[in-house]
A and B are shown apart, each in its own frame.
Chain A
């Protein structure tokens, strides 16, 4: 195809075709970077796949990696993908030729990968670095596979709470509620003051899980909650119906038509002071500017049943795993270990506003008042949960629960029908 055709000067169309053919040949020649060459055995290189893609997270990761590169003399090739695409392609990615170190979520979603042999046992890292002493037992459990061995090194967490702007509370003389009655009273006052009590945006689906989780944790307690998500309890029982009933009661205080509003838009209405409060993860801080962040405060989701209390915190923990067959195992294990160290965690959490350290010896004196408050909540918690989509089978969470919760928000009245439908699908997916 490369030879020049003899004869008269070519026509425009043919020149174009030849150009296209040439371009195709050129495009095909080098191949996608990194796929053609086997880098196995290169001791000076380790690769890492990351879903921490917003600017602060990129900066924090880069800082932490630079530190390790300087210490070890090994170069890290970082491959950052936006977190939604990362989640959607994780299965294929891990089955193909994944990077040596992979960022991911602790809990059910990591355990599932461990069970399938897609990631490597990290026991050696934990022992070498003495991680058993610096993470709580609960964090270790969340980072362990079904065989009880650790498969992940945790670095940070981004807990959930009810956030508000201190200036708005001071202006109206509101106080943090600690019980359901106080909470509803506060919502009513806010409504009378022309505020939207609770900012709400669930177009993406998953933010609705936060409301369900918190109500279930406050009404039925963490043991029932985790059992329910593990498939041990029926979804059409009185406990779950009570959760939807309480939700229905709170719904009028939520921002109207939440199904068309993205969570970012809801966060914006809190920033602007149109909404008084928002139940959200600490990742909410990304929409606040640095100055506004000083105005941000929070309280634990209030108590709904005095027997159950309000001392369970949703603390989704993020960490790093070793892929199934790392190309540079020694360096990869050292890098994963580094990411769990106190130094790395302090560097990372200082830059990424949504991240709080999981290391028990982390220096809390430098934390902002908001972060310190949340760390106190965690320290005093009876139990830590992850978030619905990290505490249950991923297929159940996304395929069954998101449409179900959206249906509830659309038609909050037919709870019986809804819970029966969830139960039927749960039985099919869990097989029990």
Chain B
């Protein structure tokens, strides 16, 4: 580059020494090397498959799967094609991920806020929780929860009963309503109520901006939601039929249930990720300047109000990006469910891989599912982040 300092290169100087040329050369080289490597691997794979007569392609997705799944989220039968089995797996992954994200947010926020408690015992416990749970591999935690659930709970034939709820090694079995069309009305009512509440709150917020008075919205919202939901239920013919679990000869029959596998995955993921979420929340709150807290105290806000109205809203802006990462980690870690027999997408994919021998295709499906989830979650969180960022006038 000593040359360059003597005669500064022109912008479009296509000599051997120009930056533009070098840049192009490096790029071509990089693409060629990476492309060559990918081609080399792909060529080998195709060649290996051809020589050994291994079938490939995604056509197997439309053949009947032929295996049962322990806890399908929706109607699935072993005669259904493979793609539907995969869909069940994706559904199970999302089920544990979504519930896990909700629970972990609540727990993590509580613990993160607890690090600022005025009570020394609470502070100490929250600190101990964070240090303990985040320093142990999540797989180990899942295995331990599963062991605890399967060893300590009573046998299936001796299920513990509280009302119509049974707890045993078979899981947590509870009564569930039998789905009839009447329930659709109830859900329609609920959705209508949520829309109404949203508009109501927006109106209330405008009112607040205009007059400075905050109309109470909480009880009004609750009333609207209850009224419309119950109303919908009555319109639908007030269906009351329930699938109540009963103790059979060998096991608890009927009802809906959470299996120990699901509970272990949920517990493990939630408790592990909550430790990280707590740290995110703690550092977010710590990032709010001390003056904010002092100002809040000066105008006489209680500790709770101070947290809720002053610290958390400001901390939120710092919290969201790392929080997104934690949500993604939780979703990705749900793939460990395969180690304890929860039928998530990795588990289903594994079975499919073994039934059909399409290793490349099945692993590609796993990766695609997680990539899609990851990218769409980051997309959503970026949108939310932009929305909650400081609006400068």
Do A and B actually bind? no
Residues of chain B whose beta carbon lies under 8 Å from any beta carbon of chain A: none
A residues near B (Cβ < 8 Å) are none
